[in-house]
């Protein structure tokens, strides 16, 4: 898998960062939509550490981007963009966080219970079975299991999802686990939120009111540490705004306004 896809033409002033971690490709529809306005980079992160993904992103932006760029990060990509912007402020003109995870551990406890409450009993049993299997060192098909787990979470995360072709290129369990552990430790120790004190560019968070990641876990902490921060809540919207029937148009209206300013 190549680690970069290009949309539109030069200059490339926007980069979109996928979620997961270890789930590249989902931001392709967003990249295509934005490419009607501006050249877009879609880095596909392949490294198994946060430091490695930061180096990959640095290389892509330095080599192909018209710096400084607008970084649009979704889910894990929101955190990656946040960490990158703190470390390389001259590379980023504006940071847009879409469906970010909460920045303080106390706000994360309710995410899984919320997701499970939106699934049927059979689906909840399947979730626990998948988690148990993925924890088994002898299990050889963890990428496949992660794909099924992701499909169940997508159902729980969505308010009213439009039919769409899944564009995720690969589920990468090992990357998901290694970076997930690092990221959890950063949040647990307060270092993740503390990085915001080093960010000088405008930061905009776009979040769905049905997203199981609680909005206050983004709005309140970031309001404390960022000098230029705005929070936009989308109604009838889950974790994937670009495929939500009632929020898609509003999402793109807001996002396009942010990347062309």
For residues 18 and 45, membership in a common domain is answered with yes
Count of alpha carbons within 13 angstroms of residue 56, beta-carbon side? 20
Distances (CA, A) of 29 to 34, 63, 163: 9, 23, 13
Mean pLDDT of the residues in the chain? 96
- Predicted TM-score of the model (pTM): 0.96
For residues 92 and 15, membership in a common domain is answered with yes
Choose the final residue of a domain: 129, 156, 183.
Answer: 156
Q: What is the pLDDT of residue 94?
A: 98
For residues 140 and 238, membership in a common domain is answered with no
For residues 56 and 185, membership in a common domain is answered with yes
pLDDT over 90 (residue 164): no
Q: What is the pLDDT of residue 90?
A: 97
For residues 96 and 141, membership in a common domain is answered with no
> What angle (nearest 5°) sits at the alpha carbon of residue 44, between those of residues 163 and 218?
70
d(CA 203, CA 60): 21
Choose the final residue of a domain: 132, 156, 180.
Answer: 156
Tell me the pLDDT tens digit for each residue of 63-111. Answer: 999 999 999 999 999 999 999 999 999 999 999 999 999 999 999 999 9
For residues 48 and 115, membership in a common domain is answered with no
Q: Report if residue 161 sits inside a domain.
A: no
Distances (CA, A) of 143 to 11, 79, 176, 197: 36, 23, 10, 36
Count CB neighbours of 33 within 10 A.
Answer: 17
Q: What is the pLDDT of residue 167?
A: 87
Q: Give the burial string for 57-70 (b: 16+ CB within 10 Å, else e).
A: beebbeebbeebbb
For residues 116 and 99, membership in a common domain is answered with no
Q: What is the pLDDT of residue 8?
A: 96
d(CA 222, CA 207): 13
For residues 201 and 171, membership in a common domain is answered with yes
What range defines the domain where residue 37 resides? Answer: 4-107+166-260
For residues 128 and 175, membership in a common domain is answered with no
Choose the final residue of a domain: 156, 187, 214.
Answer: 156
Q: How many residues does the chain have?
A: 261
d(CA 11, CA 38): 8
Q: Report if residue 101 sits inside a domain.
A: yes
Peptide bond into 11 cis (omega under 30): yes
Helices 173-188 & 50-64, crossing angle to 10 degrees? 100
Q: Report if residue 189 sits inside a domain.
A: yes
For residues 172 and 230, membership in a common domain is answered with yes
Q: Report if residue 36 sits inside a domain.
A: yes
For residues 256 and 135, membership in a common domain is answered with no
> What are the residue ranges of helices labelled H in 90-157?
111-117, 121-134, 142-157
Helices 121-134 & 142-157, crossing angle to 10 degrees? 150
- The C-alpha torsion from 23 through 152 and 248 to 183, rounded to 10°, is -40
For residues 120 and 177, membership in a common domain is answered with no
Q: Report if residue 94 sits inside a domain.
A: yes
CATH number for position 180: 3.40.50.1820
Q: How many domains does the chain have?
A: 2
Q: Report if residue 15 sits inside a domain.
A: yes
Helices 76-87 & 50-64, crossing angle to 10 degrees? 70
């Amino acid at each position: 898998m190549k680690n970069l896809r290009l949309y539109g033409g030069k200059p490339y002033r926007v980069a979109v960062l996928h979620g997961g971690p270890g789930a590249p490709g989902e931001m392709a529809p967003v990249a295509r939509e934005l490419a009607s306005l501006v050249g877009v980079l879609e880095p596909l992160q392949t490294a198994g550490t946060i430091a490695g993904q930061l180096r990959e992103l640095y290389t892509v932006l330095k080599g192909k981007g018209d710096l400084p760029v607008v970084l649009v990060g979704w889910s894990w990509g929101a955190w990656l963009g946040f960490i990158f912007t703190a470390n390389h402020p001259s590379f980023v003109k504006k940071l847009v966080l879409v469906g970010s995870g909460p920045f303080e551990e106390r706000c994360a406890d309710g995410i899984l219970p919320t997701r499970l409450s939106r699934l049927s009993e059979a689906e909840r049993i399947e979730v626990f079975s998948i988690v148990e299997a993925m924890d088994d060192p002898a299990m050889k098909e963890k990428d496949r299991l992660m794909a099924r787990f992701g499909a169940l979470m997508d159902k729980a995360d969505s308010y009213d999802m439009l039919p769409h072709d899944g564009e995720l290129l690969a589920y990468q369990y090992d990357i998901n686990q290694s970076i997930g552990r690092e990221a959890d430790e950063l949040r647990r120790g307060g270092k993740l939120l503390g990085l915001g004190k080093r960010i000088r560019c405008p930061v905009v968070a776009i979040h769905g009111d049905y997203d199981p990641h609680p909005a206050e876990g983004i709005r309140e902490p970031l309001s404390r540490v960022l000098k230029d921060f705005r929070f936009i809540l989308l109604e009838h919207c889950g974790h994937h705004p670009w495929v939500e029937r009632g929020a898609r148009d509003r999402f793109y209206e807001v996002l396009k306004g942010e990347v062309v300013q």
